[in-house]
Structure 1
Amino acid sequence: MKEGTKLLVIRADANREIGMGHLVRSVSIQKIATKNKIQSKLVLDKLDSHAKSWLSKKNIQYEDLGDSSALKSDVENYSELMLLYDIDHKFSTQKNYELLKEEGIKKNLTTYAFADLARKWNKTNIDYIIYPYIGYEKGLHLNSQRAIYGPEYFILREEIKLLNPVQTIKKSVEKITVSMGGSNPNNTIENALRVILGSHFSGEINILMGPIASIDLRLVDRYIRESSCHVTLHWNVKNFELKLKESDIVITNDGLTKYESLYLGIPTIMITSFEENTLLMHNFSLATGAVSLGQVTEENLHDQSTCLDAVLDSLERRETMSTSGKRIIDGNGTDRLIKMLFR
């Protein structure tokens, strides 16, 4: 055993159902850990072919959770183990915790989990909960001494951090970007398109989709034919961050893309993909100035398009939305988190 040495093990999943956000965030954490000369391992599970292809193209090394013997052999070489869970709560199981708790490892084990996972697990199994979001704190009641809390810990992808935030908001909106991150839960892209086409917007619509996104092409094609807007579908776009920055407005969901658009200073409108996140998105809107439309239904579609019109028509409002977003997300969250983990 290497006395006095620490190993950071990062557990993540990625597939078409849960998206790529957990994996992308975990990779960003590992990059900063490496930059700070911290030993780390990326341990993955629930990967589908798209997630594996993404990892291969980026030459990212990882270990399979199923290879438990190799993992235990690795961790036994360190005197202290730090286990960071970035797993979707729908897929988490106790075996993930038990795997590294065996063989007396628990004595030198400190566990961390993002709030996504903490909603499901018995919270006594996690030493520290990470809240890098806005709104979650109202649904989770934990001792503040066990929480690493606040959007100042939000983790941006390196590609986003390399860009300079928008400084000037255009007088008129010419380009709206629709992106639901790596996937398209509950057909949120199609619903966003319905909201836009019900407004008076007549410019360019860019729809950015990740490698594991699925979309109803027949329905989207029908919407496009009925619209005066110029609509372009970008599938598995390689320069996602540049497309995002070119936007005058971003429409996204209750995932992580909204934090990236806030950092870039782009006025952001959110559509809720999952009903249970409606209150969360409302709280997020109050704190950041971003606009939350809730879930799209036939009953509220007209009102949601009218709400979009109000944003389109007010330069002052869009300038305020831009300024608020840049103030809340400054891009240094990963560095703060690493420092907190290894304090």
Structure 2
Amino acid sequence: MTTATRPGGISSQPDDSKPPVGGARVAPPTGAAPRNRARARRRNLLSALLFLSPWMIGFLVFTAWPMIYSAYLSLTDYDVINNPEFVGIENYVAMASDEKLLLALGNTAFFALLQVPLYVVVSLGLALLLDRAGRASGFYRTVFFLPKMTPPVAVGVLFLLLFNGSNGIVNGALGLVGIDGPSWTTDPNWVKPGLVLMSLWTVGASVIILLAALRNVPKELYESAQLDGAGFWRQATSVTLPMISPALFFIIVVNTIAALQTFDEAYTAFFGAGNSTYSNDAALFYVIYLFQQAFEFLNMGYASAMAWLLFLVIMVITAIQLVVSRRLVYYEGDR
């Protein structure tokens, strides 16, 4: 068999008698690369699970298991002292005829419907002001956020001091402009509005979120709107609100859930130790009544059923908000 040679007498085929530079090439065993990749993936998975294990253990012990056990207790008659006695859906049937539970539901719904829109409007207004504050915005961000760090119990006590009908600071300020302030802590018609106003004490976190959203709005959009002759309100409705709608939606959902679970401030102000003088049914929110059933009346089974009812109500409301958001919330990645 002959081989072709290049000019100069050099063969066109490599000389198999000499090993390639760097030694002989050894092909890896068949399937070694996939096995190495699988082994690397297992190591990464084990490392991730190791780092996640503290949270996973905490979730299983302090969240998942209590929820499962409370679902079982909701089907029992349990007073903490004696063993649970299975009663089926009697606790859920009893809730339909519990007048205090219906009152607590009504109070909570009224509070949420009044508090959430006002909370969002105030947060957005303060965020718009901070967006124009320039270099001083860092100082004001701190000032607005600090009240969020106040313990809820302290806020409940502060409510009684500020909204006292006789010598409270709020009524004192209203008196300076000729307005006779109401009895915020004793008049059933003003208890919930007073608590709503007091809840605005902690708008700082929402202000920071909305401020970040405002500063992420592209300036080019405002310039284009100005060239088209859009004024302030037109820019606000056509540029600002659509661009910050994801942050607004997040704040609405989170604050709706928080409003439906309101407890600390109202309980401290109206149902805590030494406050029996001010206690009235106008401040009886759902979670407060749930707490009373569980830890004052020791009706753990009934309280567990109440907890699951609240969970379902929150799930339904959140699902409705998610459906509505598909038409009202704009995400930059959407096409």
TM-score normalised to structure 1 length: 0.23
TM-score normalised to structure 2 length: 0.23
Greater strand fraction, Structure 1 or Structure 2: 1
Higher relative contact order (CA 8 A, sep 6+): 2
Q: Which has the larger radius of gyration?
A: 2
